[in-house]
Amino acid sequence: MLLSLYSLSFSFLHHFLFSMENKYLNILSFCFSNTICGLLIVSWLARNIIHTNGLTTTLAWRRKTRKKKNQDDENKMSLLDLPDLTLDCILEKLSPSELCAMTFVCSELRDKCVSDHLWKKHMENKWGRLMGDAAIKEWKTHVATLMACLKNSNPSSYRSNTQQWRSRLAANLKPFSWLKTNHGCHNRGSSSSSPIDSVMYWYSNLESGKFWFPAQVYNRENGHVGFMMSCYDAKVRYDNKTNTFQARYSAHGRRAAEENVTWQRLRPALVETESRDLHVSDCLQGLRPGDHFEIQWRRTKEFPYGWWFGVVGHLHNCVGEENCRCVSDENVVMEFRQFRPESPWKTTVLNRKDHRETGNEVSGFYGGVKKLGTEEEVSTWKRLWPSQVLD
């Protein structure tokens, strides 16, 4: 009797485990209610059927929810689904730190966010004023040296190494201290060109202070009285913590250094002449009283030249403004009005037709001359004018 009840119970379990409704429990209860074994079977089946139905209901609900979620995801538009022109317009609105953060999202956005056309605007806005011909030439030489060293160190891995530079660019960007090197997208995708020569890499090296570039510094050595109203060549680098620059000068076998050089005291090299070379003067014939100029000057011939600000004056025998003939004279008076009248550096006279370096060990040596052609150049010098007359 027990064996037949067991066989019957397992038969019911097999056929109705996943499809049986509560009404079958009533039938089983009626059939086996007169025996203890029957009650045990009904109780066991009831528990398992309820559990099975609950599980089936849960799985069905999950499948329905997952299907709905997949449909919602399919209906959502990704940023990368936007047309290229629209996406570029969005990326162009981002700051350098935001562009840098976007490189960590995915490889597709990384490739877009390191594009030169996005970084040229930021380079021009912040660094364009200081990136003169000398600085650009210095950077190109620096890039060529890096690429040559990378290629020669291990030619077989040159391609893979250059691909990894892209993921390390963002970590070099300062002062974006929230960026860490271990957040990079290492080896996500590749590029046919090396990022070492990208504008983003150039920008990151300037921001981090890794790149020393040539520039000229007004009133060097923190406005030392011996350099007031002058501008000297230097190698400078940016300090993002103070938003100022460090400068290194070369003079007479020693190197002088200066910190906390402000943006307003810097300019790019305006001529191709090296600091120890004589500038060819091509403006002397046209100089007239009142014109503003810069002239090379050095204390001794062992020192490099600096550029000094001055104004063209009148000859001693000039009869006045109305009948001035100073323009037609072969000599031209160069005045430095920041000095007292009795100072040996107050004036000097140059020959318009045959000017070479002139001077002596007492008053120094005067080199080439260039005329200031814009009001901006003149106003920059006037902002640096000393508070009192120099001796």
Q: Lowest mean pLDDT: which of 71-75, 239-243, 375-379, 385-389?
A: 71-75
- CA–CA separation, 174 vs 172, rounded Å? 6
What is the H or E stretch that residue 311 is in? strand 306-313
Tell me: the pLDDT tens digits for 92-137?
999 999 998 888 888 889 889 999 999 999 999 999 999 999 999 9
Tell me: the pLDDT tens digits for 251-306?
665 568 999 999 999 999 876 778 889 999 999 999 999 999 999 999 999 899 99
What is the predicted pLDDT for the residue at 5? 41
What is the predicted pLDDT for the residue at 319? 78
pLDDT over 70, % of the chain: 68
Pairing mode, strands 244-251 and 230-239: antiparallel
- Which three-class secondary structure state does DSSP give residue 305? coil
- Which three-class secondary structure state does DSSP give residue 124? helix
What is the H or E stretch that residue 140 is in? helix 133-153
- CA–CA separation, 342 vs 363, rounded Å? 12
Question: Any idea which residue has 């329905």 for tokens?
Answer: 64
Mean pLDDT within 187-209: 72
Tell me: the pLDDT tens digits for 206-219?
999 999 999 999 99
| Residue 391 confidence (pLDDT) above 70 | yes
Q: Looking at 186-278, which runs of residues are DSSP E strands?
A: 213-218, 230-239, 244-251, 254-261, 266-267
Structure-token pair, residue 174: 């300062």
Mean pLDDT within 55-72: 60
Q: How many Å is the Cα radius of gyration of the chain?
A: 40
159 pLDDT band, cuts 50/70/90, is low
CB contact at 8 A, 284 and 348: no
- CA–CA separation, 1 vs 229, rounded Å? 119
Tell me: the pLDDT tens digits for 317-363?
887 777 898 999 999 999 999 999 999 999 999 999 989 999 999 89
| Residue 143 confidence (pLDDT) above 80 | yes
| Residue 21 confidence (pLDDT) above 70 | no
To 10 degrees, what angle do helices 36-75 and 22-32 make? 170
- CA–CA separation, 243 vs 140, rounded Å? 25
Q: Which residues, 6 or more positions from 357, have their beta carbon under 8 angstroms from its beta carbon?
A: 278, 365, 366, 367
- CA–CA separation, 106 vs 51, rounded Å? 44
Question: In this structure, what DSSP letter does residue 85 have?
Answer: H
Domain parsing of the chain, residue ranges:
131-148+196-269, 291-384
Structure-token pair, residue 359: 């001077």
Reported as half-sphere exposure (CB side, CA atoms, 13 A), residue 123 has a value of 19
Structure-token pair, residue 345: 């550096």
- Which three-class secondary structure state does DSSP give residue 262? coil
pLDDT over 90, % of the chain: 52
| Residue 49 confidence (pLDDT) above 50 | no
CB contact at 8 A, 229 and 148: no
What is the predicted pLDDT for the residue at 72? 60
